[in-house]
Structure 1
């Protein structure tokens, strides 16, 4: 029997559909390696029943504040017992794929970045690859954050960067980036949508509107709560316009409880239905059948654009404009969201919807080829 190849996928979860899609994209890309055994760390959004359905081993780790006992757990004389119960320590992991999407920069706690840097260094010393899957980075303004990121850049086997702005943020830490830092697009583009029983049957053309609570969260913007009413008004105005044009409006919850609250607030101000689908590939299938989309969720927009569905993205970070530019849709990225700006963009999209769909299908093919090249590069490192 061949030795198992234990791969931990970090930064993913089951509640946020984008994070779930990145988990599935990792598993899809690894299917060429027959001995891969999935490893996941327990967490509130990675509950045991769902981990078990994927056959995942449980990663043993312990971090509380500045205390990190994870590297010491492997020194305990109980590894055989742990393994019998489906648990592995860090030292037993052969490869880490870090797929957080956007979790490294000054807007997040410094300790998280520093803990990851220490882990990357440990893997490098053990001769095991630690790979950052395509994601956004930065900014890094403080010297401690730059120092931690330098350790990551110098010791990670590969760092796939999703956009040029993130690349510049990495260059602020290391001016001459090594060849292990590679610019490449989002890697969920090629995932095949799969409808299931959760997908509602809609009689007639519909538009998918995908809100995002982060846009009105104090965590991301100091004045975001002040923008909440305007955000709801903008989405409601777009829904009303779409209704006038003969589209049914579907508010798609792409995340969970907090997005559900936002969906309810928008639905109270416009005629629309709320759609809640748990399976991320079924969500993609539903969005793919829409005539058009308006999305504040990064992977909600990817789900639309990658299937030829014209989409307006409302932005709260640099990653949105770069993603829309990948699909030749940069002019449909609304960075200053108001009722007027969204309606103006929507009117333009409605006027050019047919030709935009054709362009998107061509761009999706090109980006899928770049995804394939990314996986070829990754396999060169781990073989």
Structure 2
């Protein structure tokens, strides 16, 4: 690990405020989970008195100011891309060349060089080689740029791995060991982080945190959406998120699912209606023509229901932003879903939730709220057995709500406090009470 010392959040700031670059969570994103991560981080940083500027790396082009945030910090969005268009300054290949030649006026090179730290969150769960070498290269690019620029790299709470190739693991080990601070977002992932860092690493810099989306502030949506939910007053209203990523039959082989996912989720919706509930379908990944769109999966579920069942099923607009979706989910009596950040929106609002997951990350996150038993692995259980376990979660929702009432405030406080700890550490490095970046 890179040598730095950390201090409390009361560290004395120098004359100018802290300058930060945030990577791995584009704000304009059709994946509301990634958006929730970015929004949670930027909202907290922008409102901190010690912060002068926040440069958010995203998928766009050029540089644009964003004045929509609380606080006095300047927030800018900078386009970066793993693109073969070398003539574009947003291309990571061009950024590397421009930096080697002194910058050449490249705004990304300039922001990286001026940053007191680069905070990277890897989309929450993309620091892995499971999605292929090109995706890993995109995820590693801002981390490697921070190291090349000699800036402290902070890995914000995220999942580490798995890494299935020697090259992928070697790359991850190098970046973890170069980081000034690294946070895992659950106990399982913290074990992977320690393993990547190796036995000689300073364990005090390898921390177990919580997903930053627990700190996402909810925002009331348009009046028409509020009226839609108000019209359901007096009913037992539950939310269901059906993942577009898992809906195709090919997902069974691709993700090692125990059975057809869409059929399982359709049966769950049908059984919830039979139990007397009103079901609200909640999309968390959207995109016109996008094969992974949850809204497309919800259309398939509705098509499979009969006319009477459909009268008890409603659909939220897929265009709602992450903070608006959290506000809506917070109005529900229970929630079930496969998109992890949709379930985090429920848990952080103290709404009992059930996770039907295809990876280990969901159980770890539910475990931070002491409700890991409300996760079922879709790689092990499908069909009627999975539906029965979901219905058991629905039946014990009152008891689960009490657990969340006691546990969640501490988790939300931790989500915010860990960002304050990062700011305190960055202030100490900037004020010269630490060594230089290796």
What residue in structure 2 maps to residue 285 of structure 1?
327
**CA 1:377–1:174: 2 relative to 1, 3 Å:** same
Determine if contact 1:192/1:281 at 8 Å carries over to the other structure: yes
Task: Pick the aligned partner of 1:352 from 368, 391, 396.
Answer: 396
The answer to whether the 8 Å contact 1:320/1:333 transfers is yes
**Shift in Å, 1:293:** 0.6
> Is the 1:218–1:225 Cα contact (8 Å) retained in structure 2?
no
Q: Is 2:151 the counterpart of 1:132?
A: no
Give the equivalent residue in structure 2 for 1:98: 120
**Superposition map of 1:96-175 within 5 A:** 96-99=118-121, 100-113=123-136, 119-120=142-143, 123-124=146-147, 126-175=149-198
Q: Is the 8 A contact 2:66 2:76 kept in 1?
A: yes
Distance (Å, rounded) in 1 between the aligned partners of 2:157 and 2:253: 28
Instruction: Report how far residue 92 of structure 1 moved.
Output: 3.8
1:1-383 map, 5 Å: 2=16, 5-13=19-27, 14-30=29-45, 31-33=47-49, 35-43=51-59, 55-59=75-79, 63-64=83-84, 68-74=93-99, 75=101, 78-79=104-105, 90-99=112-121, 100-113=123-136, 119-120=142-143, 123-124=146-147, 126-176=149-199, 177-178=201-202, 179-197=204-222, 198-199=225-226, 200-201=228-229, 202-204=231-233, 205=235, 206-216=237-247, 222-223=253-254, 230-257=260-287, 258-270=293-305, 271=310, 272-276=313-317, 277-336=319-378, 337-383=381-427
Pair 1:50–1:231, CA change in 2 (3 A): farther
TM-score, length-scaled by structure 2: 0.76
Deviation per CA, 1:41-81: give whole Å up to 9, x if none: 3526x9988968665242566643998231332446752xx
Displacement of 1:382 after TM fit? 0.8
Structure 1 unaligned spans of 5+: none
Distance 2:371 2:257 in 1: 29
In structure 2, relative to structure 1, the CA distance for the partners of 1:52 and 1:382 (3 Å cut) is same
2-side partners of 1:274 and 1:4: how far apart?
43
Q: Which runs of 5+ in 2 are unaligned?
A: 1-14, 70-74, 87-91, 288-292, 428-438
RMSD of the TM alignment (CA)? 3.3
In 2, Cα distance between the equivalents of 1:52 and 1:32?
A: 15
Could you report, residue by residue, the CA deviation over 1:312-367 in whole angstroms, capped at 9, with x for unpaired residues? Answer: 10111110111122222222211134231232123322332212111112111121
Deviation at 1:306, TM superposition (A): 1.3
Separation in structure 1 between the aligned mates of residue 384 and residue 332 of structure 2, nearest angstrom: 23
Partners of 1:180 and 1:156 in 2: CA distance: 9
Instruction: Give secondary structure in 2 for the equivalent of 1:133.
Output: strand
1:173 alignment partner, SS class: helix
Q: Please say which of residues 200-209 and 164-173 is displaced more in the overlay.
A: 164-173
Q: Distance in 1 between matches of 2:422 and 2:127?
A: 21
C-alpha distance in structure 1 between counterparts of 2:240 and 2:359, whole Å: 19
Quickly say closer, same or farther: Cα 1:273–1:182, change in 2 above 3 A: same
How far apart, in 2, do the equivalents of 1:218 and 1:51 lie? Answer: 41
For 1:127 and 1:324, the matched residues in 2 are separated by 36
Q: 1:89 to 1:335 in 2, by over 3 A?
A: same
Alpha-carbon separation, structure 2, partners of 1:192 and 1:170: 28
Name the counterpart of 2:11: none
Indicate conservation of the 8 Å contact 2:194/2:206, yes or no.
no
Check whether the contact 2:18–2:52 (CA below 8 A) recurs between aligned residues.
Answer: yes
CA distance in 1, matches of 2:422, 2:84: 32
CA distance in 1, matches of 2:116, 2:347: 35
Higher RCO structure, 1 or 2 (CA under 8 Å, sep 6+): 2
Deviation of residue 172 (structure 1)? 3.9
Q: Is the 8 A contact 1:60 1:73 kept in 2?
A: no
1-structure distance, mates of 2:403, 2:142: 42
- Distance (whole Å) between structure 1 residues aligned to residue 263 and residue 340 of structure 2: 21
How far apart are residue 138 of structure 1 and its match? 0.8
